[in-house]
A and B are shown apart, each in its own frame.
Chain A
């Protein structure tokens, strides 16, 4: 033991970790070019019989999966890093979708079946004016804000109450399920003012431009891709900061974190609200692409499926959930066409296999393989 005045700096020079390695930034750039340039060019400017042509169906499908990938990332972020498993993120996704749907309904204008300025379902119900909560739906800017704020506010209230009462683990997961189920039942009612079980559909335009064109499809696809990359950046920044390490520590031992002088509540609440808002944005991108939003999006099964994407891909990493969303949804679109009755069996089996044999998902398997390869080389 030497005296305390001459500390030994061995190994302490720790430069602040960059957001991505050079290879990481290169991968982000390649992904951005692929999403914004390559796919649009292959879809719009190559003739339909060309070998490299990306079909409209494919662009639509990939665009949809990109929004799912944002949800998977949002779930992976809270589940993998903070140890909070949400089985109700479908609710936040659907809320974002409904906010966008309200705007799209107003954009139909008087072109509806009844030729009224009101949405068709309101005319059908005999309503003569818009309910108060439709007040901001004519404005695109307000819609963009509400897409983040509505799911965020609900998540804030729910999360505050749940985390303040120290509800954790499986109990938390169960009440998120109950929350989304309750919301689904509420939205099924016609009096709620969101189109009942039919929801919103028959959209015509967005910002005055027609929706059902090849160009708009490609634009929405690219927007979804860019948003996904943005969410990856945000998640990476959050989790590399000390904030992320505190979350990690909360997962390890919440009481010890309190002893270090941190209040875990705002930490858990922030990541929870950010995650919910991400899902809301994903929902808002999803609705104009598929052209419909209805309460079945809030069904508990949908939310569970989202958690499965994250689990299959590997919740411990950021790329894992995204990969999981693509793999599971890719398999779904193939299998539901060829063996529609087997899809749920397949999904269940996949979940069991992943839980039993790949606790860290596909990303974990890839990571192990990579480590092995390096050992063999060295």
Chain B
């Protein structure tokens, strides 16, 4: 291949990459169907979807925890999932994070990454963070050290032995500390924090891993009203930079954060829309809100 051809190729690739990096919108800010190069390790959201589930079915001993479920999440979206107990909310999270394998269906992260082909740690590494219901922080380490452990970096033994916090990593840490409003408690032991602060710290630890999609399981369970309000602010702010899926029972909280709500029932999608819309939906009233 002649040098000028090489140059031409490089130039075209550069142009294509520049196009690929245009802000994601309905179709990535350009005409759909326009070819663009795939980049390994980069989530392709050019079709306007960061997560896409189709026909997902999970059964445990004949019990269908998820039944032919379809769901899709846009980049930067904050989606609330509600539903009665046993509706399959936690199973849904398990499927997305790779903990449970569905019997059938497809699960895509972006347009190109088939999550069913990856293991739990791989999925976590790709940028899907999950917060469990019960806050689990390292109680004997300080807030700072908790965040430092969660930092996205080499996680090998030798790398850890020689680890030094770089300036940009410290900035990132400071930024996250600021976001979760724990800067004053920076050097306090995590075990000494209040319940709400532990939850925020755990969200902070997820943020340190720079996730693209965050799954939060009942983030305000057991919080005081003031803490719930603070969490709502925090999530609304995160929405700009991350996509979030929140499972929650507290309707007041859902109302304060949410644009779009998905109602699950017996493993299937029952309704989707704004909170007012779904609350007005006859079937939803029947199965969930009760009459």
B237 touches A245 (CB 8 A): no
Q: Closest residue of chain A to B121, judged by CB?
A: A261
Question: Among A1-9, A107-115, A136-144, which stretch is in contact with chain B?
Answer: A1-9
Q: B160-173 vs A: 1/0 string, CB under 8 Å? A: 11111100001101
Tell me the smallest distance from the CB of B169 to a CB of chain A, in Å: 11
Asked if A134 is at the interface of the complex by the 8 Å CB criterion, the answer is no
Q: Closest residue of chain B to A259, judged by CB?
A: B124
B177 touches A12 (CB 8 A): yes
Which B residues touch A267, using CB under 8 A? 157, 160
Which A residues, 248 to 270, have Cβ-Cβ distances below 8 Å to chain B?
Answer: 248-249, 251-253, 255-263, 266-267, 270
Which B residues, 132 to 170, have Cβ-Cβ distances below 8 Å to chain A?
Answer: 136-141, 144-145, 148-150, 152, 155-157, 160-165, 170
A7 touches B175 (CB 8 A): yes
Question: Among B31-39, B66-74, B183-191, which stretch is in contact with chain A?
Answer: B183-191
Decide: A12 near B173, CB < 8 A? Known: A260-B149, A263-B155. Answer: yes
B155 touches A262 (CB 8 A): yes
Decide: A243 near B161, CB < 8 A? Known: A248-B138, A259-B124. Answer: yes
A260 touches B209 (CB 8 A): yes
Q: Closest residue of chain A to B146, judged by CB?
A: A249
Asked if A192 is at the interface of the complex by the 8 Å CB criterion, the answer is no
Most buried by A among B137, B139, B160, B174: B160
Interface size class, chain B = 35 or more
A84 to B164, CA, bound (A): 27
B183 touches A242 (CB 8 A): no
Which A residues touch B152, using CB under 8 A? 261
Q: How many residues on chain A are close to B (CB under 8 Å)?
A: 34
Which B residues, 167 to 205, have Cβ-Cβ distances below 8 Å to chain A?
Answer: 170-171, 173-175, 177-179, 181, 183-184, 186-187, 205
Asked if B125 is at the interface of the complex by the 8 Å CB criterion, the answer is yes
Which A residues touch B144, using CB under 8 A? 12, 14
A242 touches B161 (CB 8 A): yes
Which A residues touch B173, using CB under 8 A? 12
Question: Once A and B bind, how many residue pairs between them come within 8 Å at the CB atom?
Answer: 101
Decide: A252 near B233, CB < 8 A? Known: A7-B174, A241-B161, A242-B148. Answer: no
Asked if A24 is at the interface of the complex by the 8 Å CB criterion, the answer is no
Which A residues, 269 to 293, have Cβ-Cβ distances below 8 Å to chain B?
Answer: 270
A252 touches B138 (CB 8 A): yes
A261 touches B163 (CB 8 A): no
Asked if A16 is at the interface of the complex by the 8 Å CB criterion, the answer is yes
| 10 A-B pairs closest in CB distance | A242-B163, A243-B160, A7-B175, A249-B138, A7-B174, A243-B161, A242-B160, A11-B186, A7-B178, A12-B174
A/B interface sample: 28 pairs, CB < 8 A: A4-B178, A7-B178, A8-B174, A8-B177, A8-B183, A9-B174, A10-B183, A10-B186, A11-B184, A12-B170, A12-B186, A14-B165, A16-B165, A241-B163, A242-B148, A243-B157, A245-B149, A246-B160, A249-B138, A252-B138, A252-B140, A252-B141, A253-B136, A258-B121, A259-B124, A260-B205, A261-B124, A263-B121
Interface, chain B (partner A; CB < 8 A): 121, 124-125, 130, 136-141, 144-145, 148-150, 152, 155-157, 160-165, 170-171, 173-175, 177-179, 181, 183-184, 186-187, 205, 209, 233-234, 237, 241
Interface, chain A (partner B; CB < 8 A): 1-2, 4, 7-12, 14, 16, 238, 241-243, 245-246, 248-249, 251-253, 255-263, 266-267, 270
